[in-house]
Structure formats: C-alpha cells, structure tokens
Amino acid sequence: MSLRNLVIAGAVTGLMGSAAWADCGPSGQSIRILASDFPAIHAVAGTAEAMCAGAAAEFTRNHTTEAREIMNAALTPNPAEYTSVIVANSTLTQLMNDGLVRPLNDYVEKYGAHLEPHQMITIDGNVMAVAFMANSQHLFSRSDILEKAGVSGIPSTYEEVLAAAEKIRAAGIMEHPLVMNMKVGWNVGEVFNMIYLAHGGEFFQPGSAAPAINNEKAIAALSIMRSLAEYAHPDHLTQASNETQGLWEAGQAALGIMWGSRGGVILDDEGSSEEVTSNTVLSGAPTVAGGSIPAATLWWDGITIATNVGDAEAEATFAALVSAMTPEMVAEHNDDAVWLIDGFKPGPAAAGVAATATGGAMSYPMIPYIGLMHNALGAELVDFLKGAEGAEQAIADVEAAYVTAAKEAGFLN
C-alpha cells in the first residue's frame, strides 16, 4: 500500500485497532534508545516504554538534539551504547556507511504483523529500518492575499508561484511576498536538492560516486532559485524554519515553501492572528519546468537496531518499539506528525505533505555520499545567490568541493 492509499485508507479504517496486548519479545533485556528530541518520537518511544518497560530489565531513552553527531561513535563499540537509534533518510545512510545497523527481516516476520508494507525501508531486500512518520516541504499560501492580487486558485508550479508573487508585488500588497528556508548551509542545499530533483536531475553518475550535477538542469534549478530569491525577504540567506514561520505568523508573507511539520504550529491559535490562520492553505509542493514531480524531498523517520548488541537485546528492542506503532498510539498523538502507521487521520496540517507524497515527489536520496554533496551545495551556492558569481561557476565550485571531500572520504580516487 502506498502512502496515497494509506491516507485514504487511514481515514476509513480509523479506529479499527489491533489488540491492546503487546508482545515484548525476550524478557529481562536491556533496551536503550537514542533519538532526536521532538513530540512524535517521544510518542513512539514513550509508548514503547509504557508497553514493554515492565518486561525489560532496563529501559532508557536519550532524546537529544545532538543524536546525529554521536550516533556513529555510540554504536561502534561492542556492546554498543544503544540498542536502537531512531533515524531519518540521511541518518540511516550515515549508520549504514559504517555497517552499524542490522537487517530486521526476521524480527519483522515475528513481531511486525500489524505493520504496513510501506513502512519497511528495504535496501537490497533487507529491511534496515521501520518508518513511522513522514515529512516534506510544501507550499503554504494565503488565499485572501492571492485573491486580492487577482490570482485565481493556488499555484501548483514554481512558474505560477513566481507569477503570483509578481502580481502581489505589483498590486503593492507586499514587496517580498515569499518566504523560504534559504539559510546558508544545510537549508539552501536542500532547496537546490528539491528543485533539481523536480527537474529530473541526478546527483551522481549511475553506480558511482562521480558527481553529475554539471548540466542544464542544475543551471535551470539555480535560475529558479535566483528568481525566487528576488521575491523572498531580503534576509533570506539567514532564514530557516523559525524565521520563516515567524514571518508567516506575523502575516508578512503570502507564499511560503516550508516544512510540513510546521503546518500544525502555523495553523494553531498561538503566535498569529485569525486573519492569517483562517486563510492559510496548505497544498502540495509546486512542480517546475513543465515536469510532473513536486519539488520536495520526502523524509521519513523510523527505527533501526544496532549491529553490535546481543541478539536477545536486539529482538526485545525491536519488539518494544514496534509494539508502539499501533492505531491507539496514533489516535492519541494524531496531530503530532504525519504518521505512516495504520489508523492515521490526516488533519488539515497534514494536507500539504499528503499532497506532495501522492503527487510523486522523490525521497531524500539514500546514497552513501549524498551528505558530502549536500554539504558542498550548502557552502558553495551562496556566492551565486548573492549575485557574486554566475551559475556555471557556482556549479563548478560545488563539484570541486564535493570531489575534494569525496576523495578524502574514500568514495573517489
């Protein structure tokens, strides 16, 4: 079942829950979880603790914003510091590069009867992670301002977004109607990723780590980015989610490309006015250049099990974590995330992510060296966006920076 079906089916199946009884696997084991620090992860890990802490000898959770920085070092020793790490697309690659997580096929067979097939993250037939939530960037629009500026309907392509922005500017409503997370570093690299992927671009030559970004698609993606920057807040190179959300809630933007996970807090009654929240429309990420792929990268968060721990510990950890992935848990925390678990009822805040996923957006690539490429993009595109150099030079710089890093990391010779 794809996410598309899930969204529909989720609404129908609703409260058709699985049994409240949980199979916690081998008892008397030590379960130690490392995870980031946000509500959806607290919901899953917390439910697992409530279900299975009794059967375990030890159940600890370490929620930290630095999870990503310490996970590889933490899982390297044998026995590892943690039996499970909760990961996303990029962090799974980071762990798999060092061979620190184990295949889950047997555990899924034994404990995963209630899981959906689409939750399985498989690499070459091996289930390496079990996903439980999704996220992506998508379009936020202010329907009242669009109407006032004479734009009919919600833009569905970047060309329409730009035209709408121009109309809003021309109508004198806002000088900078657009907000985007273009902060130099990870964020601006991510903006390039999504627009480039929507152009049908590839980052690497097939089956190798050699870069393949020096092409017209990349140039086209950059020129879209520059046009978008025209209409974005002058400080866009310093703005990430917190700033763009702030601008949106203050009613200073009419079009926004922001994270779906910010939808809920934007639509709630805190920090904003009735005028903004009631007119904010969440829709799928726009397509670009006549393509059909929404310009976004889809993200999932899921559980993994460490390689360097005892088999019984691993089994108990897996059993405990999947025992939390039930419709009851989802019902209790429905609005904390876009759940991939059976029983999710998409609320208004999930509309954008659902539309983006069903529209066929690409996942953030799980390629071992994508992090190096992302890093190079984040650092080297800034001169172009400031207008200090041309698109060709910017791409050449990215390529040179990536090749240098990839050589050092052993991916290229």
Q: Closest approach of Cβ 40 to another protein, in Å?
A: 8
Q: Considering beta carbons, is residue 52 or 129 the nearer one to another protein?
A: 129
Q: Closest approach of Cβ 141 to another protein, in Å?
A: 18
Does position 193 bind another protein by CB under 8 A? no
Residue 15 backbone phi and psi in degrees, to 5: -90, 5
Query: Which one of 76-84, 139-147, 158-166, 282-290 is the stretch in contact with another protein (CB under 8 A)?
Result: 76-84
How many residues make up the chain in this entry? 413
Q: Considering beta carbons, is residue 17 or 271 the nearer one to another protein?
A: 271
Q: Considering beta carbons, is residue 128 or 149 the nearer one to another protein?
A: 128
**Residues contacting another protein: total by CB under 8 A:** 112
Residue 289 · residue 97 · CB < 8 Å: no
Residue 59 · residue 53 · CB < 8 Å: yes
Does position 347 bind another protein by CB under 8 A? no
Restricting to residues 265-324, name those near another protein by CB under 8 A: 265, 269-272, 298-300
Q: Which of 28, 57, 58, 98 binds another protein (CB under 8 A)?
A: 98
Q: What is the DSSP string of 145-210?
A: HHHHTT--S---BHHHHHHHHHHHHHTTS-S--EEE---TTHHHHHHHHHHHHHTT--SB-TTS--
Q: Considering beta carbons, is residue 315 or 336 the nearer one to another protein?
A: 336
For residue 104, give the nearest of 121, 92, 88 by alpha carbon. Answer: 121
Residue 287 · residue 166 · CB < 8 Å: no
Write out the H or E segment, with its range, that includes residue 282: strand 280-283
The SS3 call for residue 323 is: helix
Q: Closest approach of Cβ 198 to another protein, in Å?
A: 14
Restricting to residues 384-403, name those near another protein by CB under 8 A: 385-386, 389, 393, 397, 400-401
CB atoms within 10 A of CB 338: 28
Restricting to residues 214-243, name those near another protein by CB under 8 A: 234-235, 237-242
Q: By rule CB under 8 A, what string of x and - marks binding of each residue 145-164 to another protein?
A: --------------------
Does position 169 bind another protein by CB under 8 A? no
Neighbouring-strand partners of residue 86: 303
Q: Considering beta carbons, is residue 13 or 363 the nearer one to another protein?
A: 363
CB atoms within 10 A of CB 1: 12
Does position 374 bind another protein by CB under 8 A? yes
Q: Which of 45, 131, 168, 285 binds another protein (CB under 8 A)?
A: 131
Does position 38 bind another protein by CB under 8 A? yes
**Cis (ω within 30 of 0) for the bond into 79?**
yes
